[in-house]
Amino acid sequence: MPDSGESLAAYFRRLREDAGFETADAVMRKTNNAISAHAIRAIERGNVDRPKVETLEILAEVYRASLAEMLRRCGYLPAENVGPAGLAQLPPDVREVAVWLLRLSPGKRQELLPLIEGIVRIVRGTEGTENTEGEEGPEEGEQPGDGTEDVNA
């Protein structure tokens, strides 16, 4: 694992060299011009603080590096969300959704958070199981339908 004090520029330069690419031009050719040599050099010189997620996806594939680690280092993911295999542990469709969400602006992600939380509750089967404000559940030892409720209500 690289030194935690390694700059983002040095990190990307090391990844390129470790993958066997001598120049940014060689990486550009490998990506079929999906990323320009200028963009790669800008990242490696520290002129880009937060490369686009799409760029990171391509570089991770070309460098055979961890996309999750790249996302963490660029500030898209907090350190505690990156496991040994990172996003690679997710099923492909879930990984695709996660990367799509990371492409959104922080404001848009925040707007979607209640929707995502609702979906998670549905998937986990907990939708509707929590009491809503003002409603009370059964008292301890009391079971619903034990004759204590008002049947004429």
Mean pLDDT by 10 residues, the chain (153 residues): 73 96 95 95 94 92 90 78 56 73 75 78 66 45 45 41
CATH code where residue 14 lies: 1.10.260.40
- Is 14:6 a contact under the CB 8 Å cutoff? yes
Q: Residue 105 falls within a domain, yes or no?
A: yes
CA-closest candidate to residue 11, choices 22, 2, 21: 2
- Could you tell me the residue range of the domain that residue 105 belongs to? 90-128
Distance separating alpha carbons of residues 58 and 43, to the nearest angstrom: 14
Statement to judge: residues 2 and 42 lie in one domain = yes
- Is the same domain home to 94 and 72? no
Say how far apart CA 107 and CA 133 lie, in whole Å.
28
Distant-in-sequence, close-in-space partners of 118: CB < 8 Å, separation ≥ 6? 127
Domain assignment of residue 144, yes or no: no
pLDDT of residue 2: 46
Same domain, 66 and 121: no
Kindly state whether residue 133 falls inside one of the protein's structural domains: no
Q: How many domains does the chain have?
A: 2
pLDDT of residue 99: 74
pLDDT at 149: 43
Residue 141 lies in a domain: no
Q: How much is the pLDDT for 31?
A: 93
pTM of the entire predicted model: 0.57
For residue 40 the two structure tokens come to 């790669």
In this prediction, residue 87 carries a pLDDT of: 61
Shared domain check, 67 and 119: no
Distance CA 76, CA 79 (A): 10
d(CA 152, CA 90): 52
User: Per the domain annotation, does 73 fall within a domain?
Assistant: yes
Are residue 60 and residue 102 in the same domain, yes or no?
no
